[in-house]
Amino acid sequence: MGFRFAFAGVGCLAVMACTGDADAGPPPLTAPTDPYWTAPAPATFDVRFETTAGDFVVRVTREWSPHGADRFYNFARSGYLDGQRFTRVVPDFICQWGIHGDPSVAQAWRNAAIPDDPVRVSNTRGRIAYAMTGPDTRTTQFYVSLVDNSRLDQQGFSPFGEVIDGMEVVDRIYSGYGEESGGGVRRGNQDPLFEGGNGYIDRLYPELDHVVRASIVRSS
């Protein structure tokens, strides 16, 4: 479904992969306003992340957070998630990723926000939700809670899924850089990640683990 690519650095040809109608696959990754990206997700679906630390599976439940689930579904079916670095891994807190490794793609999506969803389930260990800076600012970055982060519920962080297999893999994703390699969207210091992409990240933070491929393995 869609295309896949091995993203080793900024020189990826992802944005040239596909154009045209549905039979040709998804639109260019630099076209976030294309209707392709608004397709509704199935009621539930599983995404397998093959990473340099091992594999883990996220189960998404659309009822929990419909706008968040829809975006994640379209990212997973298009190949958008492939090659991304886990840029913010803070022990006893979260593992965060979602910035595309090609700067032209990352910049195109940087302000492409989706509406908020009510918080229907708590940010407990293993749950996945979007990072944000305030109302209606969820874009492409999301995190898995490494501990019980239910304190985030009152701040409006709406989980849309949870890790159902391989949480031990998420626990061992490289965390040695902490906030230094990515920081949070609220810290306002992510410009180098968007401007330099994977090339910048790999030069300064070579130990970071990354997504090799993400694929939908079940839906209903």
What string of pLDDT tens digits covers the 220 residues of the chain?
333 333 333 333 333 333 334 446 789 999 999 999 999 999 999 999 999 999 999 999 999 999 999 999 999 999 999 999 999 999 999 999 999 999 999 999 999 999 999 999 999 999 999 999 999 999 999 999 999 999 999 999 999 999 999 999 999 999 999 999 987 656 657 999 999 999 999 999 999 999 999 999 999 9
Q: How far apart are CA 162 and CA 137, in angstroms?
A: 21
Q: Which amino acid is at 208?
A: L
pTM for this predicted structure: 0.88
User: H or E element: which one contains 219?
Assistant: strand 211-219
The residues facing 143 across adjacent strands are 96, 129
Task: State the architecture of 14-33+44-219 in CATH terms.
Answer: Beta Barrel (2.40)
Q: Map out the domains of the chain as residue ranges.
A: 14-33+44-219
